[in-house]
Amino acid sequence: MPDQSTIHSNSSSAHAQASAKITSSESARSPRLIAIGGGKGGVGKTFVAANLAVALARLGRRVVALDADLDGANLHTCLGLPSPDVSLADFVAGRTLEPEKLLMQTREANLQVIAGTHANLDTPQPEQNQRVELLRGLRRLAADYVLIDLGAGSQRAVLDYFLVADDGLLVLRPEPTSVENAYSFLRAAFYRRLQLGARGYGVREIVREAMDQRNERGIRTPYDLMREIEALDPVEGRRFMEAMRGFRPRIIVNEARTENDVKLGFSVASVCEKFFGFRADYLGYVNYQKEARDSVRARKALVEYREASEAATYLKRIARKLVDSSEAKTFSS
Under the rule (CB under 5 A), what is the footprint of Mg ion?
45-46
Q: Tell me how far, at minimum, the Cβ of 164 lies from ligand ATP, in Å.
A: 20
CA 141, 146, 152, 157 torsion-angle sign: positive
Which partner in ligand ATP, Mg ion, none is near 228 (CB below 5 to 8 A by kind)?
none
The rounded distance, in Å, linking the Cα atoms of 241 and 256 is 34
Nearer residue to Mg ion within complex by CB, 164 or 171 = 171
Report how many residues bind ligand ATP under the rule CB under 6 A: 21
289 is an interface residue for ligand ATP by CB under 6 A: yes
316 near ligand ATP, judged by CB under 6 A:
no
As a whole number of angstroms, the distance between CA 150 and CA 130 comes to: 16
Least CB distance to ligand ATP at residue 197 (A): 28
Find the helix packing angle between 201-210 and 176-197, rounded to 10°. Answer: 170
- In the complex, minimum distance from the CB of residue 4 to ligand ATP, in angstroms, rounded to a whole number: 14
The DSSP letter of residue 99 is: G
Give dist(CA 59, CA 52) in Å, integer: 10
Picked from ligand ATP, Mg ion, none, the partner binding residue 43 (CB below 5 to 8 A depending on kind) is: ligand ATP
What strands lie across the sheet with 63-67, from one edge to the other?
A: 104-105, 111-114, 63-67, 145-149, 32-37, 167-172, 250-256, 281-287
Half-sphere exposure of 36 (CA within 13 A, CB side): 32
Distances (CA, A) of 248 to 143, 254, 285, 304, 333: 23, 19, 17, 30, 18
Binding residues for ligand ATP restricted to 1-20, rule: CB under 6 A: none
Our finding on whether 79 is near ligand ATP (CB under 6 A) is no
Among 43, 88, 158, 253, binds ligand ATP (CB under 6 A): 43
Which residue number is nearest to Mg ion in terms of Cβ? 46
Q: Which does 47 bind (CB under 5 to 8 A by kind): Mg ion, ligand ATP, none?
A: ligand ATP
Contact flag: residue 47 with ligand ATP (CB under 6 A): yes
Residue 264 binds which one of Mg ion, ligand ATP, none, with CB within 5 to 8 A depending on kind? none
Task: Determine if residue 153 is left, alpha or beta; phi over 0 gives left, psi from -120 to 50 gives alpha, anything else beta.
Answer: left
Residue from 67, 69, 160, 327 touching ligand ATP (CB under 6 A): that is 69
Does 286 engage in binding with ligand ATP (CB under 6 A)? Answer: yes
Residue among 316, 296, 297, 315 at smallest CA distance from 256 = 315
Which of 67, 236, 255, 304 is in the footprint of ligand ATP by CB under 6 A?
A: 255
3-state secondary structure of 296: helix
Residue ranges in contact with ligand ATP by CB under 6 A: 38, 41-47, 69, 72, 151-152, 254-255, 286, 288-289, 292-293, 296, 311
